[in-house]
Amino acid sequence: MKERWSEYSRSIEKSREYHKRYQIAVNSPLRRKILKMLKKGKNLEEIKKETGLNDRDLEYHLQILEWGFCIDRSGEKIEVTKEGEVVDYIE
């Protein structure tokens, strides 16, 4: 079952955890670049080619983005969440 923001809004401790995870996810310039590419509709092969990442390293960054509430994954489908859209406003 996927974690949702609503699960983290019930207490101050949970809210801090949510914000910590989100901050870790978007703090990396490489992960922000991945988010921007996903928003533009690029597939994983295009992202690997443009970033120079291999399968394992890209998967690591995708896991951090998912853990930080920036993307939702369902099989091969990846969607940028509202949280992930922050890339439109930073840098």
> Where are the chain's structural domains?
5-88
Residue where the block lists tokens 């390293």: 57
Q: Which amino acid, 35?
A: L
pLDDT at 63 over 90: yes
**In a 10 Å sphere around its CB, with 0-12 CB exposed, 13-18 middle and 19+ buried, how is residue 24 labelled?**
middle
C-alpha of 49 from chain center: 19
Of 13, 6, 1, 3, nearest in space to 71 by CA:
3
What's the pLDDT tens digit per position in 33-45? 999 999 999 999 9
- The two three-digit tokens of residue 41, written as one number: 């509709």
pLDDT at 6 over 70: no
CATH fold of 5-88: Arc Repressor Mutant, subunit A (1.10.10)
What's the pLDDT tens digit per position in 67-91? 999 999 998 899 999 999 988 887 6
| Degrees, nearest 5: CA angle 10-16-20 | 135
| Residues 13-37, mean pLDDT to the nearest whole number | 93
In this predicted structure, what is the pLDDT of residue 1? 44
Angstrom distance (rounded) from CA 32 to CA 51: 12
